[in-house]
Chains A and B, each alone.
Chain A
């Protein structure tokens, strides 16, 4: 990747094409003013975006904290707090030129010292996932207030995909320096450089963000206020959209089951754009310490037994596609994704599954049952119980008797990731902006880490895969890198440490009075600086 320079004018003009796409019906000139109500579910427990990365925080926090870059629809970085950047040929130095005349909400100017402090002192030390992204970065140098230089031990091509406010937010050094960062008083009164300032948090109800009149992009933002509203009940959330009480709902805030009805509502629109950098798949993790699950044939049989289309249609209400392997199809654009793998969705899949089980030495016994397994139900929402109920029926077809265990989040995570007291687990894995984030965590043998959630808990250990994943992480040549990931996908679908179910499709519902709400691949997880509302 060479240097990418782009004038601010081109950067700013990008999203207007999108406005035309959404509704030419409405007025085409943005209007200043108005309050946008968006539904965020569930209510975040904290706004400490620099230390907690739960998915419900960014829709609010990215209005306040900005990143060095944003991304265009082709997932290429575009200037934001960084005006331009230069990557050295050896890939070990990245130099950022910063935007001048940017101030934080507390009036302090934004400089390279803030970048240095944010990356090295906050994110690298306290963020749950940033330490992986920044693992190769050993220093951030600040030759002058508007230049920040990242020094790397090895090339880390994925860094350029993770510089948005969602993944690596820039905080104000003056606010955090010399304090206990995890107990900073601005955790829930965040101070950033973004288009909106934190206003007020009525716990259990809403968070109000106010327009930042001193925002560094002239004339922006258009909205006076953003209110993030929290409604615990799914049916009530849908109702709030339908009555026009709320204007925007992203991710699973609106129940998939209600979408068909909402599509018919003349005041509402829907879009599946804005999730291009949020790949996620639902999977089954199989505990290979179990006497039957330690056999590849048994694991493959389970993969064959499941009708993924049924799950997509009846559990996800059509919002997703059957997963083909360990990587989301959203990586196809970057060239990492392949369908040249063992295919489980074949017409005679049940016959294959039964034969595999017979050959694995698990014959049918009394009542046609071969053996029994426990399935741990994902506690993060109703649809996972539906999926588990379906899986129980599906596996009964091949003689596996499944018992469901549905516990609350704390108990579930403890049982699976600390006690390893499980047979099948049904997590939902977000895969990050680069394969390195989703794959390494799940399949590296070094990631068998007791007590850590969402890592390699199926005890998968294959030296070849370890080797490929670690090499791909440091490979600066894109094509070589892609070839490695293709190989990884082929090996994994053969070994079947996990069963990949659904490549998830998200959808946003919006009120048609609202314009320019989805202006880039990060969707709600980037600032609504250009969003505006009809009067």
Chain B
């Protein structure tokens, strides 16, 4: 792990990503200090271009775009991380069970996984949000539900591959219980892979959330970047700043997550090590 960290530290792009992420975290923490009050508050004259009092301008209702972007960071991160954790939890359970027990369990679970993969993911996400009604929690559920199959396939593949390895066979021979084998031996061995794929999934989840909001399926009570863009889209050409800044925020965030994720991947993934 330590060797991995130092490897990560030597990767300049990964460090850039980590630095950007740090800025993002600071934004999330400092948002209530820098912009006290509700980001939905009508702060000034509508459609003001960026100037000294409103560094990122105001939107169609006169809300401060800077405050919107700052508060939106939290929503995007919550949804990105929440959906990813959900997807990992679900994917690990399904994929793990399938890969460990094989046989009928595997057939049934992998068919279920395939089922989810045959429905176009984005349409499924829209359908789930429509069924559950748009809110942050339901967006997290919807994105997690369309994202888990990739994790499940990965975990199953790893479990199957590791299951035949000598050390697992030896453990089983020594009478170790299923739970012990899974939690002590199998999971830790594919943890780095899960972390690497999961970190990329955060970025994808943020993009899906933005897409949902763009189509008008976001939570209207919570400020998010997707919401700001979909609201500013109508005036894109007369008030470029409303769409542009949250768009850049999404771009930088996803970029940062992917850079850091790549770094993690290279640092932790045993197959890429020592080349």
List A residues at the B interface (Cβ < 8 Å). Answer: 234-235, 238, 255-258, 260-261, 313-315, 377, 379, 382-383, 385-386, 388-390, 392-393, 403-408, 410-411
B117: Cβ under 8 A from any A Cβ: no
Is A393 within 8 A of B216, CB to CB?
no
Q: Which of B40, B130, B219, B220 contacts A393 (CB 8 A)?
A: B40
Q: List 12 A-B contacts (CB under 8 A).
A: A314-B61, A314-B62, A377-B220, A379-B216, A382-B216, A385-B231, A389-B40, A403-B221, A405-B220, A406-B134, A407-B133, A411-B133
Pick the 3 closest A-B CB pairs, nearest first: A404-B220, A406-B220, A257-B235
Q: Which of A258, A382, A404, A406 contacts B231 (CB 8 A)?
A: A382
List B residues at the A interface (Cβ < 8 Å). Answer: 40-42, 46, 60-62, 130, 133-134, 216-221, 230-231, 233-238
- Considering the chains assembled together, what is the distance between the CA atoms of A382 and B216 in angstroms? 8
Closest to A384 in B: B216
Is A260 within 8 A of B238, CB to CB?
yes
Closest to A396 in B: B38
Q: Which of B40, B219, B234, B236 contacts A382 (CB 8 A)?
A: B234
Task: Tell me the number of A-to-B contacts counted with CB atoms below 8 Å.
Answer: 70
Given A255-B234, A258-B238, do A389 and B220 touch, yes or no (CB 8 Å)? yes
Q: Which of A256, A315, A388, A411 contacts B220 (CB 8 A)?
A: A388
- Considering the chains assembled together, what is the distance between the CA atoms of A290 and B141 in angstroms? 31
Residues of A within 8 A of B40 (CB): 389, 392-393
Residues of A within 8 A of B234 (CB): 234-235, 255-258, 382-383
B119 CB, min distance to chain A CBs, angstroms: 18
Residues of B within 8 A of A238 (CB): 237
- Considering the chains assembled together, what is the distance between the CA atoms of A377 and B216 in angstroms? 11
Is A314 within 8 A of B235, CB to CB?
no
Residues of B within 8 A of A377 (CB): 220
B225 CB, min distance to chain A CBs, angstroms: 16
- Considering the chains assembled together, what is the distance between the CA atoms of A329 and B41 in angstroms? 32
Is A258 within 8 A of B237, CB to CB?
yes
Residues of B within 8 A of A404 (CB): 220-221
Given A257-B235, A404-B221, A405-B133, list of 15 further CB < 8 A pairs? Answer: A256-B234, A261-B238, A314-B61, A314-B62, A385-B220, A385-B231, A388-B220, A392-B40, A393-B40, A393-B42, A403-B221, A406-B216, A406-B217, A406-B218, A411-B133
Residues of A within 8 A of B42 (CB): 390, 393
- Considering the chains assembled together, what is the distance between the CA atoms of A315 and B47 in angstroms? 12
- Considering the chains assembled together, what is the distance between the CA atoms of A521 and B60 in angstroms? 32
Is B133 within 8 A of A257, CB to CB?
no
